[in-house]
C-alpha cells in the first residue's frame, strides 16, 4: 500500500539506525510510491524518509534538512528522475551535510522516443514490474503524464567530493544512459541494470538494485567492501572482439523469427511471451523489455502485452535486420571518425548498413534457416 500522496513518508528499523536515507521522487510520483524500497532498507537497519516534494511552495533544501534533523549515522541523499537533479543541486549547494549521494534514472539527455501518449505507454516507459504497474494504475495520487514534461538541465555546479552511486537502466528511453556515463567521475560507482527501464528503483529487477544500494550504504557507513579482483584477471577480460552481437539483439531476432513463423498467410498470428521464451530459449524477464522496445519501434503490436500476445506490425519481408538493430541498439555501427583510417571506417559503416538493410526477417524463418 502507498502512503498518502501529500504526506512525508518514513520507514524506521526495529533496532538502532545505521543512518538515514532521504528519498526525493521524480515526475508524477509521491513519497508513498517508495514504500517497497523504504521497507527493504529499514530491514537492513536504515531510516528512510521521503519528503513531500510535490508541494509547490516546498523548499527542497529545507525539506531535506528537516528530514535529516537529529539523524545519527551516515546521511545519504537519494534522488530518482528529476528528484536526482534536485539531489545534485542540494548536495552541490553544501548547506546540508551529506556523507553520500545516490542518483537514480537521472535525466541527463532528451528522451530517445516520443513522450508516452497514454497510460499504457507511460507504464511501459517507467517499469516492467507487474506489481508496481498495478500500484500505479490503482493509485489516485499518481500524476499521469508528468513524465512527458521536459526535465531541467543538469546542474552546472560540480558534485561534492562525497561517494556517489549512479543507478540506471540500460533500456531507459526517458533518460538515455549514454549521457549519464559521460557524467560519472572516476571515483563514482555506476550500476547499470540490463534491460532496466526508467523507474530503476521500482522496476522488475528492484531486488538487485536494492541489494546494490545496500552494498554502497554499508561501504559509506562502515567501510565494508570486497577484495578487488587481481589486476591480471581484469586484464584478461578487457579485450572485446571488433564485431560483437549483443544478447539483446540476438534475442530480438529470435523473437521476431518466432512471430514471422506464426504470422501465416494472413499475417495475424499472435504469440505470447511465454511461448516465445520457451520455444526460442530466451529468458522471459529479458524478453519482456525487448518486446517493449520492438513495439515502440513499430515492428510489433500487442494485445495486452505478453498476456495477450504479440504479432508482427508489418510483413516479415519488409522488416530488415537493420530495423531490429536500430530498435534494440540505437545505431547500426559506431566507428571512429578521425585519423588516417577515417575513410576506411566510414566505408565499413556503409558496408554494415547495406548488409543489414539487405536482409529481412524472411531470412530467419524455418524455410531459410533451420531452427
Q: What is the pLDDT of residue 113?
A: 84
Same domain, 276 and 320: yes
> Which of 222, 238, 256 is the last residue before a domain boundary?
222
| CA neighbor of 76 nearest in space, from 165, 13, 15 | 165
Q: What is the pLDDT of residue 57?
A: 52
Same domain, 191 and 269: no
Same domain, 214 and 111: yes
**Measured CA distances, 151 to 34, 86, 94, 218 (Å):** 21, 11, 23, 31
Same domain, 199 and 55: yes
Grid cell 514504500 in the structure block, residue: 35
> Which of 222, 256, 288 is the last residue before a domain boundary?
222
CATH value at residue 29:
3.40.50.1820
Same domain, 178 and 100: yes
> Which of 182, 206, 222 is the last residue before a domain boundary?
222
User: Is residue 43 a part of any domain in this protein?
Assistant: yes
Please tell me the distance from the alpha carbon of residue 91 to that of residue 83, in angstroms, as a whole number: 12
User: Is residue 82 a part of any domain in this protein?
Assistant: yes
| CA neighbor of 113 nearest in space, from 304, 302, 330, 305 | 330
Collapsed DSSP state (helix, strand, coil) of residue 150: coil
Report how many domains make up the chain: 2
Same domain, 193 and 298: no
- Is residue 102 within 8 Å of residue 219, measured between CB atoms? no
Q: Beta strands 19-24 and 9-11: pairing type?
A: unpaired
Please tell me the distance from the alpha carbon of residue 147 to that of residue 82, in angstroms, as a whole number: 9
Same domain, 198 and 322: no
Domain that holds residue 100: 9-222
Q: What is the pLDDT of residue 96?
A: 92
Grid cell 545505431 in the structure block, residue: 331
Please tell me the distance from the alpha carbon of residue 363 to that of residue 201, in angstroms, as a whole number: 39
Same domain, 64 and 198: yes
Same domain, 216 and 328: no
Q: What is the pLDDT of residue 266?
A: 57
Q: What is the pLDDT of residue 286?
A: 79
Decide: residue 28, CB within 10 A, 0-12 exposed, 13-18 middle, 19+ buried.
Answer: buried
Residues in the chain predicted with pLDDT less than 50, given as ranges, are 1-5, 235-236, 238, 305, 368-371
Q: What is the pLDDT of residue 65?
A: 93
Which residues partner with 191 through β-bridges? 167
User: Is residue 347 a part of any domain in this protein?
Assistant: yes
User: Is residue 38 a part of any domain in this protein?
Assistant: yes
Please tell me the distance from the alpha carbon of residue 303 to that of residue 20, in angstroms, as a whole number: 44
User: Is residue 208 a part of any domain in this protein?
Assistant: yes
CATH value at residue 352:
1.10.10.10
Same domain, 165 and 57: yes
Same domain, 183 and 41: yes
pTM, 2 dp: 0.66
pLDDT above 90 coverage of the chain, percent: 59
Please tell me the distance from the alpha carbon of residue 228 to that of residue 206, in angstroms, as a whole number: 25
Which residues partner with 167 through β-bridges? 104, 191
Q: What is the pLDDT of residue 305?
A: 47
Amino acid at each position: 500500500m502507498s502512503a498518502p500522496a501529500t504526506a512525508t513518508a518514513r520507514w524506521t528499523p526495529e533496532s538502532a539506525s545505521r543512518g538515514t536515507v532521504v528519498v526525493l521522487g521524480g515526475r508524477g510520483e509521491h513519497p508513498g510510491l517508495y514504500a517497497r524500497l523504504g521497507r527493504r532498507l529499514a530491514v537492513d537497519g536504515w531510516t528512510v524518509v521521503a519528503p513531500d516534494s510535490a508541494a509547490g511552495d516546498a523548499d527542497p533544501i529545507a525539506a531535506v534538512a528537516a528530514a535529516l534533523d537529529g539523524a545519527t549515522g551516515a546521511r545519504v541523499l537519494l534522488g530518482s528522475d528529476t528528484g536526482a537533479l534536485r539531489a545534485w543541486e542540494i548536495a552541490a549547494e553544501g548547506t546540508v551535510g551529506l556523507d553520500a549521494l545516490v542518483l537514480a534514472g537521472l535525466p541527463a539527455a532528451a528522451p530517445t522516443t516520443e513522450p508516452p501518449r497514454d497510460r499504457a505507454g507511460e507504464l511501459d516507459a517507467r517499469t516492467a514490474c507487474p506489481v508496481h504497474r498495478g500500484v500505479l494504475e490503482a493509485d489516485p495520487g499518481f500524476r499521469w503524464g508528468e513524465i512527458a514534461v521536459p526535465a531541467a538541465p543538469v546542474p552546472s555546479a560540480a558534485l561534492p567530493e562525497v561517494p556517489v552511486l549512479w543507478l540506471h537502466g540500460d533500456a531507459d528511453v526517458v533518460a538515455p544512459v549514454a549521457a549519464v556515463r559521460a557524467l560519472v567521475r572516476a571515483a563514482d560507482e555506476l550500476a547499470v541494470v540490463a534491460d532496466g527501464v526508467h523507474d530503476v528503483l521500482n522496476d522488475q529487477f528492484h531486488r538487485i538494485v536494492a541489494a546494490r544500494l545496500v552494498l554502497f550504504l554499508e561501504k559509506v557507513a562502515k567501510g565494508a567492501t570486497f577484495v578487488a579482483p587481481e589486476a591480471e584477471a581484469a586484464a584478461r577480460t578487457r579485450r572485446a572482439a571488433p564485431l560483437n552481437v549483443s544478447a539483446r539483439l540476438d534475442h530480438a531476432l529470435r523473437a521476431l523469427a518466432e512471430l514471422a513463423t506464426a504470422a501465416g498467410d494472413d499475417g495475424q498470428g499472435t504469440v505470447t511471451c511465454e511461448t516465445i521464451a520457451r520455444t526460442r530459449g530466451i529468458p522471459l524477464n529479458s524478453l519482456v523489455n525487448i518486446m517493449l522496445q520492438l513495439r515502440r519501434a513499430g515492428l510489433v503490436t500487442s494485445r495486452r502485452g505478453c498476456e495477450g500476445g504479440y504479432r508482427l506490425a508489418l510483413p516479415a519481408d519488409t522488416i530488415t535486420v537493420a530495423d531490429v538493430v536500430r530498435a534494440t541498439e540505437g545505431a547500426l555501427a559506431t566507428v571512429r571518425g578521425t585519423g588516417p583510417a577515417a575513410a576506411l571506417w566510414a566505408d565499413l559503416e556503409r558496408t554494415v548498413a547495406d548488409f543489414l538493410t539487405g536482409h529481412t526477417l524472411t531470412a530467419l524463418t524455418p524455410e531459410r534457416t533451420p531452427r
